[in-house]
Amino acid sequence: MKIRVFSMLLLMLFAAISEGFSVHGPAEPLIVQLGESVMLPCSVDTPLPLEELEVEWKRTDSETMVHLFQDGDSRPESQDETYSGRAEFFADEIPKGNFSLLLVNVTRQDRGKYKCVVHTRQETREAYADLVMEWLVVTGADEAVLCMRVRM
């Protein structure tokens, strides 16, 4: 009987380990105005050990490094220069499994698709975020304001 219970516990533990983790991003495109800040969400259900964790935020069109978390710390020196000083993690949230990225002073070149890649020693998972610009155009004092969304 003890062997049967022990075997069941081992089977349950193996099933839990083999399922791994999943990464969650935004369900819809993120809409931001030029010059504003936006949070690109990325998280896992349960926290991962920091000593074996690496998180990359990259552009999908060019594989440009937006920001990197590696060896228990943010690595701003790994960023592409266009994101230097404009993209950062929420450091207090990383141990909780939240790898969201804050992008400040958004430019036209920032629109597009991003991916959050979470690596552990055993596996790698990804989530994606689409960044859409919302433009506000005022053409004259007596004319209506035109607002449109531009997708890339």
Rounded-to-5 percentages of helix, strand, coil across the chain: 25, 40, 35
Mean pLDDT to the nearest integer, 16-27? 77
Q: What is the mean pLDDT of residues 86-112?
A: 95
Mean pLDDT of the chain: 83
pTM for the structure as a whole: 0.76
Which residue matches tokens 């552009």? 59
pLDDT-derived band at 3 (thresholds 50, 70, 90) equals low
- For residue 97, is pLDDT > 70? yes
Specify the higher pLDDT residue, 20 or 65: 65
AA identity, residue 48: L
Task: With CA atoms as reference, report the closest residue to 50 among 112, 17, 86, 99.
Answer: 99
CB-based contact 37:52 (threshold 8 Å): no
Rounded to whole angstroms, how far apart are CA atoms 140 and 136? 13
Asked if 54 and 119 touch (Cβ cutoff 8 Å), the reply is yes
Report how far apart the first and last C-alpha atoms of the chain are (Å, whole number).
Answer: 62
Residue 114 has pLDDT above 90, yes or no: yes
**What pLDDT shows up at residue 18?**
40
Three-point CA angle 82, 67, 77, nearest 5°? 75
* Amino acid 32: pLDDT: 95
Beta bridge partners of 96: none
Domain spans of the chain, in order of start: 21-150
Q: What is d(CA 17, CA 11) in angstroms, rounded to the nearest whole number?
A: 10
Contact yes or no for 135/152 (Cβ under 8 A): no
Fold topology of 21-150: Immunoglobulin-like (2.60.40)
What is the average per-residue pLDDT within 69-98? Answer: 93
* Closest alpha carbon to 66 in 84, 49, 52: 84
Contacts of 136 (CB under 8 A, 6+ apart): 33, 145, 146, 147
Q: What average pLDDT does range 90-118 have in this prediction?
A: 96
Q: How confident is the model at residue 134 (pLDDT cuts 50, 70, 90)?
A: confident
